[in-house]
Amino acid sequence: KIYPFYRLRWQIELMFKIWKSLCHIDKVKKVKQERLECYIYAKLICIVLTWRMIWAVAKFIFVKHKKSLSFYKAFKTMHRVKLTELREILFCDVGNISQFMINFYNMSKIKHLLEKKQKEPTSMQILITCLN
């Protein structure tokens, strides 16, 4: 009975590992404390914002298609490919956030699905079970 919770704990660790490896939050130049704090806050805001967007897409894919999203694949694409486009939408008023999310959803349902290796339930299935 404890195994599903252990798997969820592992998913949380993987989330932080993704943040560290893709966002390089562990690599900072020597700067003044104020600049460091600003840098860290900006990184964390960016991470949380993109993570929330990915989570929304993941829930939609799970509900509509009964498939699980690979958060690593989705976050990697969002961070390396789509982040500039997202910045332009949010800060330069170029584009539409709804269209951005639709495009990301369409890409994710094809390229970011989790490859199921075992007959074990996915983390999304465990979460749904625990919340019901």
What's the whole-number average pLDDT of the chain?
85
Residue 94 CB-half CA count within 13 A: 7
What does the pLDDT look like over 90-119, one tens digit per residue?
A: 888 878 889 999 999 999 999 999 887 777
For residues 40 and 93, give the distance between their C-alpha atoms in angstroms, rounded to a whole number.
25
Structure tokens at 34: 């104020």
Q: Say what percent of the chain tops pLDDT 70.
A: 94
> What residue type is 131 in one-letter code?
L
pLDDT band at 73 (very low <50, low <70, confident <90, very high): very high
H, E, C per residue of 31-98: CCHHHHHHHHHHHHHHHHHHHHHHHHHHHHHHHHHCCCECHHHHHHHHHHHHHHHHHHHHHCCCCCHH
pLDDT at 132: 60
Structure tokens at 8: 């969820």
pLDDT at 131: 66
What does the pLDDT look like over 15-68, one tens digit per residue?
A: 888 888 888 877 888 999 999 999 889 889 988 999 899 999 999 999 899 898
Q: How many CB atoms lie within 10 A of CB 61?
A: 21
